[in-house]
A and B are shown apart, each in its own frame.
Chain A
Amino acid sequence: MGFLRDQLDKVKPHFHKGGKWEKFYYIYEAHETLLFVPNHTTKTKGAQIKDAIDMKRMMMTVIISMIPCLLFGIYNVGYQHFLALGQEAALLDIILIGAIQVLPVVVVSYAVGLGTEFAIATIRQHPINEGYLVTGMLIPLVMPPDIPLWQVALATIFAVVIAKEAFGGTGMNILNVALTARAFLYFAYPSQISGDVWTYLGDGTAVSGFSGATPLAIGAQSLTTGENVVSSLGSFGAGWADGMFEFSNLFFGFIPGCIGETSTLMCLIGAAILIMTGVGSWKVITGVFAGAYLMGLGMNAIGLNEFMLMPAHYHLVIGGLAFGAVFMASDPVTAAQTETGKWVYGILIGVLTVVIRVFNPAYPEGIMLAILLMNVFAPLIDYSVVNANKKRRLQRATV
């Protein structure tokens, strides 16, 4: 520790004003403070002591909550690979294949994203906020396993520059950065992020009868075929993956999909960590699930077609709803910031997700668009809540 500290102190003067690397001060600061909590003390007047928490701790807590999803994602990518090829494989092989597919995406996301952040912090001379530590993990988890790495890099740059820095950096952005990356790919390279991209096949050939369809696609198909969604899901995979889309399997997440979003269970573990530590808002997370379930029930009641008749609880386990609810919707910067607003915001995301899924088969993944849409509306929700607060104050006044 002493050695490292000495080295840091040795180079520090170069980064201060007048030093040869003064432009790069904030890059230095980001690294130094990652290694050491600085020796800054509180001001002479005001709070003389401070809470032990800081932004890094908060962001790291979110990353920890995503680890179950990441680990399961790595396993599942390998599992789906061998399942599609019809091969038996040892656990180690499964994890190896998964890791080879997934880890490069994570590395590219962090390297490109942090590089962009450093560059912009240097140009604009502002401190590097730790927000990207979370975004950098979210982006890989919402990518298909087979995504070309250059697309990951491109999407990351787009998201960081356009969705975040253009608005003034962390804390000022309107749209969730990771979702913007995903939406960018969705509209810029639709062929690589929709259709049969959810299973990594590699060089192998799939077993006969293989289909890379997701439960959402099957739901959307029911609109044309008129078949019962639950029985279509139940009979899916017959011959090569029996019972793949049964409810319990959907819940545990052994299904094709984005790297980190398939397992509702892992998302719920993440939610538990976020809620227990108080980092994520339980109101938003519960709101999304409640909104989706209630809207699902509403759809059942109307029941105009087979997709509308799909039992409401299926909506909670298919697609990326759970992942979006836990890790995307609860992003404190882009969510509604008032406590009442969080309920409204969460519930509307849930409702909109189901509406988009059922009524707009062109975009089967409703959660992404629902969250982005509500990101835009969040300030409006807050505006109403804040106005109500102001009104209470005005009503009490006599003059």
Chain B
Amino acid sequence: MSKFIKLKKGFDINLAGKAEKKIAQVDQPETFAYKPSSFHGILRPKLTVNEGDNVKAGTPILFDKKNDRVKHVAPVSGEIVEIKRGEKRKLLEIVILADKKIEHVEHKKYSVSDINNATREEAVEHLLASGTWVNLVQRPFGVIADPEETPKAIFISAFDSHPLAPDYDLLFKGEEQYFQAGIDVLKKLTPGVIHLNLNSDAEVSQIFSHAKNVQVNKFSGPHPAGNVGVQIHHLDPINKGDVAWTINPFGVIQIGKLFLEGIYDASKVVALAGSEVNNPQYYKTYTGASIKKMVADNIKSDNVRYVSGNVLTGERIDADGHIGYNDNLVSVIPEGNYYEMFGWILPTTKKLSFQRAFGLLSFLNPKKEYVVDTNERGEPRAFVQTGVFEKVTPMDILPTYLLKAILAEDFDEMEALGIYEIIEEDLALCEFVDVSKHDVQSIVREGLDLVQYS
């Protein structure tokens, strides 16, 4: 019962500096980091390694005391060189100096028929102990899935519609059998369907078009059509009491490899893109890689911002920082730390705006690529403009009312207005277009935390 869903609302941010479709040959980074901040819902992280310890790829390094069955493991083999902590000793990064040749923890190997015969309990245990479980994200709240729960369905978005998004075909080329094995394992976890959501506006990669045991749905339209939250809303929305899980294709492949090859494989392809990169292209590396070597001699100026992830939902990192667990993109854009005289009124064709009050004639040149810096472009103000949030939210949700309910800490309202259906990324465009410059995404997370933990 595959579905085709056409979305009209949204906005494609067309930035300059898209990655060229080739994988660069460079030395591997020296350090890799595991960042608990890449996940939501780790309440009391407990380290199981110390600085100076040697680990293999797949060695448990961390667990959550509140949820101790879920293990977090090292992406590469090597020596733990630093455990970075922030304010109040908050755990920020576990940095590993990688070996030249990666050694893996050995797990049990399954054949395709073994996978089919394995029980749900066996599969769950294997996923938990191996460290691949963290790829499963629970909706509502966008936290690491709870192994005690049974989801009503599992959703996989097979495309990324964010600005400068990497091409999934290039990212996952040749991984067909692992992807299928991963799907077969996931099939055991839910009594419902596994939804595989494709982009109907582009050519679909073989890895997805050949997948079996899934319900294939097609989505058409501008960003956020690729957001799994938006897709869930249109396929099988989350109501109070429902639990669904999401996973990205990288996670599915990692699970497939674990079963077929018996290893925890953190190797992945990431894109380095953005207007400030000399040669935007792809790199083959491992989860949590340091960007130091990728950006060396490859950046146009000093005054840039490195973002792990995309420019709508990502996080700033240093020039020698590490990529977040779920990210397969590093965006490099100019910093906007300058004053601009009368910048708010002077006519220009260089600035990007969703709203025609700025780019009145921008529709004449829809393919134009923009260079956008990190300037806030205004000051925080009261909610005034109405209707624009709705124009970039292709869901039956009223963002302004929901945000006001969160700010008022009104639990019943939040619930009634659909907080279970969203996480930060689903309203990221609202934060971008907001005239009053609210921190929409952190407001959303505040609301989710309120509903989940109190």
Q: How far is the CA of A335 from the CA of B385 in the complex (A)?
A: 11
Q: Which residues A40-61 have CB closer than 8 A to chain B? A: 40-58, 60-61
- With contacts A46-B439, A50-B377, A53-B355 taken as known, whether A337 is within 8 angstroms of B340 at the C-beta atoms is no
Q: How far is the CA of A44 from the CA of B315 in the complex (A)?
A: 6
Q: How far is the CA of A4 from the CA of B431 in the complex (A)?
A: 32
Q: How far is the CA of A392 from the CA of B237 in the complex (A)?
A: 12
Q: Is there contact, CB below 8 Å, between B340 and A57?
A: no
Q: Which residues B335-354 have CB closer than 8 A to chain A? A: 335-345, 351-354
Q: Which residues B404-454 have CB closer than 8 A to chain A? A: 416-418, 424, 428, 431-437, 439-442
Please, how many residues of chain B have a CB less than 8 angstroms from a CB on the other chain? 76
Q: How far is the CA of A332 from the CA of B400 in the complex (A)?
A: 13
A386 at the interface (CB under 8 A from B): yes
- Residue among A47, A130, A386 facing the most chain B CB atoms (10 A cut-off): A47
A208 at the interface (CB under 8 A from B): no
A248 at the interface (CB under 8 A from B): no
- Residue among B241, B351, B375 facing the most chain A CB atoms (10 A cut-off): B375
- With contacts A393-B239, A393-B416 taken as known, whether A57 is within 8 angstroms of B358 at the C-beta atoms is yes
Which of B51-59, B280-288, B305-313 sits within the interface?
Answer: B305-313
B360 at the interface (CB under 8 A from A): yes
Smallest CB-CB separation from A399: which chain B residue? B241
Q: How far is the CA of A35 from the CA of B431 in the complex (A)?
A: 24
Q: Is there contact, CB below 8 Å, between B378 and A50?
A: yes
A39 at the interface (CB under 8 A from B): yes
Q: Is there contact, CB below 8 Å, between B357 and A57?
A: yes
B316 at the interface (CB under 8 A from A): yes
Q: Which residues of A contact B157 (CB under 8 A)?
A: none
B379 at the interface (CB under 8 A from A): yes
Which of A199-207, A273-281, A302-310, A363-371 sits within the interface?
Answer: A273-281
Q: Is there contact, CB below 8 Å, between A276 and B356?
A: yes
Smallest CB-CB separation from B342: which chain A residue? A35
Q: Is there contact, CB below 8 Å, between A279 and B357?
A: yes
Q: Is there contact, CB below 8 Å, between B378 and A56?
A: yes
- With contacts A47-B313, A60-B345, A397-B241 taken as known, whether A37 is within 8 angstroms of B358 at the C-beta atoms is no
B396 at the interface (CB under 8 A from A): yes
B398 at the interface (CB under 8 A from A): yes
- Residue among B355, B439, B440 facing the most chain A CB atoms (10 A cut-off): B355
Q: Which residues of B contact A41 (CB under 8 A)?
A: 305, 335-337, 374-376
Q: Which residues B362-377 have CB closer than 8 A to chain A? A: 372-377
B333 at the interface (CB under 8 A from A): yes
Q: Which residues of B contact A129 (CB under 8 A)?
A: 381-382, 384
- With contacts A35-B341, A48-B311 taken as known, whether A40 is within 8 angstroms of B376 at the C-beta atoms is yes
Task: Say how far B336's CB is from chain A's closest CB, in angstroms.
Answer: 5
Q: Which residues of A contact B357 (CB under 8 A)?
A: 53, 57-58, 61, 277-279
A170 at the interface (CB under 8 A from B): yes
A384 at the interface (CB under 8 A from B): no
Q: Is there contact, CB below 8 Å, between B398 and A399?
A: no
Smallest CB-CB separation from A337: which chain B residue? B386
- With contacts A44-B316, A46-B442, A56-B344 taken as known, whether A51 is within 8 angstroms of B377 at the C-beta atoms is yes
Q: Is there contact, CB below 8 Å, between A390 and B241?
A: no
Q: Which residues of B contact A39 (CB under 8 A)?
A: 336-339, 375
Q: Which residues of B contact A125 (CB under 8 A)?
A: none
Q: Is there contact, CB below 8 Å, between A54 and B335?
A: no
Determine which of A47, A51, A332, A338 lies in contact with B398 in the assembled complex, contact meaning CB atoms within 8 Å: A338
Determine which of A40, A61, A396 lies in contact with B375 in the assembled complex, contact meaning CB atoms within 8 Å: A40
Q: Which residues of A contact B378 (CB under 8 A)?
A: 33, 37, 50, 53-57
Q: Which residues of A contact B433 (CB under 8 A)?
A: 51, 53
Determine which of A36, A42, A337 lies in contact with B376 in the assembled complex, contact meaning CB atoms within 8 Å: A42
Q: Is there contact, CB below 8 Å, between A49 and B355?
A: no
Task: Say how far A155's CB is from chain B's closest CB, in angstroms.
Answer: 23
- With contacts A170-B382, A276-B356, A394-B416 taken as known, whether A54 is within 8 angstroms of B437 at the C-beta atoms is yes
Smallest CB-CB separation from B240: which chain A residue? A397
- With contacts A38-B376, A41-B375 taken as known, whether A54 is within 8 angstroms of B344 at the C-beta atoms is yes
Smallest CB-CB separation from B384: which chain A residue? A171
Q: Which residues of A contact B380 (CB under 8 A)?
A: 127
Smallest CB-CB separation from B239: which chain A residue? A397
Q: Which residues A254-291 have CB closer than 8 A to chain B? A: 276-279, 281
Q: How far is the CA of A390 from the CA of B341 in the complex (A)?
A: 45
Q: Is there contact, CB below 8 Å, between A54 and B353?
A: no
Q: How far is the CA of A35 from the CA of B305 in the complex (A)?
A: 26
- With contacts A42-B374, A46-B439 taken as known, whether A51 is within 8 angstroms of B352 at the C-beta atoms is yes
Q: Is there contact, CB below 8 Å, between A339 and B387?
A: yes
Q: Is there contact, CB below 8 Å, between A169 and B360?
A: no
Q: Which residues A50-87 have CB closer than 8 A to chain B? A: 50-58, 60-61
Q: Is there contact, CB below 8 Å, between A46 and B239?
A: no
B30 at the interface (CB under 8 A from A): no
Q: Which residues of A contact B345 (CB under 8 A)?
A: 56-57, 60
Smallest CB-CB separation from A281: which chain B residue? B387
Task: Say how far B154's CB is from chain A's closest CB, in angstroms.
Answer: 19
Q: Which residues of A contact B353 (CB under 8 A)?
A: 51-53
A361 at the interface (CB under 8 A from B): no
Q: How far is the CA of A42 from the CA of B380 in the complex (A)?
A: 12
Smallest CB-CB separation from A59: which chain B residue? B384
Smallest CB-CB separation from A278: which chain B residue? B356
B331 at the interface (CB under 8 A from A): yes
Q: How far is the CA of A386 from the CA of B417 in the complex (A)?
A: 8
28 contacts across the A-B interface (CB closer than 8 A): A35-B341, A36-B340, A37-B375, A42-B375, A46-B313, A46-B431, A46-B442, A47-B428, A49-B311, A50-B378, A50-B432, A50-B437, A51-B434, A52-B352, A52-B359, A58-B355, A58-B384, A61-B357, A129-B382, A169-B382, A170-B381, A171-B384, A281-B386, A281-B387, A333-B384, A335-B386, A389-B396, A389-B398
10 closest Cβ pairs, A-B complex: A54-B378, A171-B382, A37-B343, A397-B239, A52-B351, A277-B357, A40-B376, A44-B316, A390-B416, A36-B339
Which A residues are within 8 Å of any B CB, using their own CB?
1, 4-5, 29, 33, 35-58, 60-61, 127, 129-131, 169-172, 276-279, 281, 332-333, 335, 337-339, 342, 386, 389-390, 392-394, 396-399
For the A-B complex with A53-B355, A60-B344 known, give 9 more contacts whose Cβ atoms are closer than 8 Å. A33-B379, A36-B340, A44-B315, A49-B373, A49-B374, A54-B435, A57-B358, A277-B356, A279-B385
